Amino acid sequence: MDNSLNLLLEQSFKENWDSPALSDYKGITLHYKDVARRIEKLHIVYEICGVKKGDKISICSRNQANWGVVFLSALTYGAVAVPILHEFKPGNIHHIVNHSDSIILFAGDAIWEQLNEAEMPNLEAVIQMNDFSVLFSKKEIVTETRDHLNELFGKRYPKNFRPEHIEYYKDSLEELSMINYTSGTTGFSKGVMIPYRALRSNIEFGKEVQPHLNNTSNVVAMLPTAHMYGMMFEFLFEMTVGAHVHFLTRIPSPKIIMEAFAEIKPDIVISVPLIIEKIYKKRLQPVINKASIRVLLRLPVIDLRIERRIKNELVKTFGGKFNEIIVGGAAFNKEAELFFRKIGFPFTVGYGMTECAPIITYAPWNNTRLYSCGKAVRGMEIRIDSPDPESIPGEILCKGENVMLGYYKNSEATESILKKDGWMRTGDMGVIDKDGYLYIKGRSKSMILGPSGQNIYPEEIESVINNMQYVIESLVIEDKGQLIALVYPDLEQADANGITQVELEKKMEEVRIMVNEELPNYSKIQKINIFPEEFEKTPKRSIKRYLYQRTEL
């Protein structure tokens, strides 16, 4: 019982009763006592409607306070939560609801308009996320319970609902807490079975590395809460320490994010590389590349002053109060990382995956190494499947408390990744130095074999291309033995500078030549093709490579 995650939540709600818990940015704020009341009302619904411990409850809506309420209500009742990214296509949502054996679906208005209950025959009820009204039900008792919920709640707690009334389901370590469906770069969606032990272990890691977070702390939740990275470190961990989570509730454009940071002043920032890189490319690169600034940056004393000023402005951009920015979810642009390290900006790069709920490696910003994503965290081990792990890249294997139980109803996929000795194959390639710091080279599935057997990691080439002018993002593929780069250009910048389509194609050829100067002969780019739109992404903003492996462009 001492290891129970729900016991942690129970204690946090009691201790932080009057503190703010969940807010919709520029919208409602729920205090811990409000969240506890809503959880209790949903428990009454579950109880009367016959939801049993272990039953699956799907949740599909944009980030919002009630998303957090529903997720916590499932865990604290003993049900299994099934978060579904609201950006998934209707067919995918139908499939996940069915495959997970969910009996209740909580859905946002816009989501439900695209769905069809006939496509989800095992559902007993669909409940609207915003006000918990019943959208569909097989049993009349579900609608009746919802219509008389306040009355039922009043009868159960006639002298008001108080902290001592909270008593949540006590989970055990190996018990299934949630099923999180991946939408990876390989295109095959699998249901990752996360045990309570993995959630608890990630929370203990959070307490260890961010001990300052408490009921005076603020966090801006801008990543999808249905994805493990955002859920764990922008929401669930915070709920166990009494922090205040502010959901953006809208598309996290840099403008909205900066506005929210300035207003909320978060105590920690959880981000994916894309957000940091946009700030670097749009705001800093144009300044750094000015001839006058480049001259000044060569003068030692002035160089330090300029770097200090840039760092201070960056810190201010993110609210000025945070102690660290933790970047994860995808590879970080090397040029941007080098610059941020040089000016002493407090950020670090971690490594994880949904199958580890999610953390595998981490190091604090003032004790990490350039281009590394840290060392194995508490309760975890890592090793490289290579004859020389320090210099020859091999697949990264991990083992420990954070590792999943397996894939739901998919023993074949489970056996292909989980070895009998407990080690899990990550599918990522990397090396590890003598002190245990991990350096990721790329995905094993995206690795390209060079003409003489050399291992080519397209992510490393893309990192160079993405630093070039007029490039937003790129994807390197192999076509008939040649390396070709697909580039999604910055058409807005090109237009502002009066660059025509023909001139842009010439600029891309210049980019190819400059990139090749930095690459070994076996990994030089033979051609750049302009791609007309942004590449399709996974929830953690990685490009879905499998969609672009063959192209006629």
Is 359 found in the same domain as 278?
yes
Assess whether 100 and 30 both reside in one domain: yes
pLDDT digits (tens, 9 = 90+) for 265-298: 999 999 888 777 777 766 666 666 665 555 555 6
Between CA 74 and CA 317 the distance in angstroms is: 37
- 293 with 403, same domain: the answer is yes
Specify the range with the lowest mean pLDDT, choosing from 38-52, 252-266, 273-287, 451-465.
273-287
At residue 185, the pLDDT reads 42
Is 51 in a helix, a strand, or coil? coil
Residues 130, 99 within the same domain: yes
Whether 38 has a pLDDT exceeding 90, the answer reads yes
Burial of 501 per CB tally in 10 Å (0-12, 13-18, 19+): exposed
Among 195, 213, 247, give the residue marking a domain's end: 195
Q: How far apart are CA 430 and CA 443, in angstroms?
A: 9
Q: What is the mean pLDDT of residues 21-33?
A: 97
Q: Give the residue, 98 or 285, on which the prediction is more confident.
A: 98
Location of structure tokens 């950020």: 347
411 in the same domain as 487: no
What average pLDDT does this structure show over 82-99? Answer: 90
* Six-digit token string for 180: 């999180």
How many Cβ atoms sit within 10 Å of the Cβ of residue 491? Answer: 15
Flag whether pLDDT at 171 surpasses 80.
Answer: yes
User: 498 φ, ψ to 5°?
Assistant: 70, 25
Neighbours of 150 (CB within 10 A): 9
Question: Where among 443, 466, 482 does a domain terminate?
Answer: 443
**308 plus 384 within the same structural domain:** yes
CATH of the domain at 134: 3.40.50.12780
- Over the stretch 444-462, which tens digit does the pLDDT of each residue have? 777 776 665 567 878 888 8
Residue 278 lies in a domain: yes
% the chain with pLDDT above 70: 92
Measured CA to CA in angstroms, residue 281 lies from 336, 459, 528 at distances of 8, 18, 21
Range 119-138 average pLDDT: 95
Q: What pTM was computed for the model?
A: 0.84
| Helical residues (DSSP H) of 16-64, grouped into ranges | 32-48
Q: To which residue do tokens 């910055």 refer?
A: 490
Residue-range definition of the domain harbouring residue 424: 269-321+324-443
**Residue where a domain terminates, one of 443, 460, 478:** 443
Residue 465 within any structural domain of the chain: yes
Q: Residue 425 domain-assigned?
A: yes
Segment 472-523, tens digit of pLDDT: 899 998 887 789 999 999 988 888 889 988 899 999 999 999 999 888 787 8
Looking at the domain assignment, is residue 483 inside a domain? yes
How distant is the alpha carbon of residue 196 from its chain centre? Answer: 19
The reported pLDDT for the residue numbered 446 is 77
Estimate to the nearest angstrom the gap between the alpha carbon of 376 and the chain centroid.
Answer: 19
Looking at the fold, whether 394 and 524 belong to one and the same domain comes out as no
Q: What is the C-alpha to C-alpha distance for residues 547 and 222, in angstroms, rounded to an integer?
A: 26
Strands (E), 323-481: 325-327, 347-349, 351-352, 359-362, 375-376, 380-385, 394-400, 406-407, 424-432, 438-443, 448-449, 455-456, 471-479
Domain identity same for 190 and 156: yes
Cα 392–Cα 547–Cα 327 angle in degrees, nearest 5: 55
3-state secondary structure of 188: coil
For residues 438 and 455, membership in a common domain is answered with: no
Domains held by the chain: number: 3
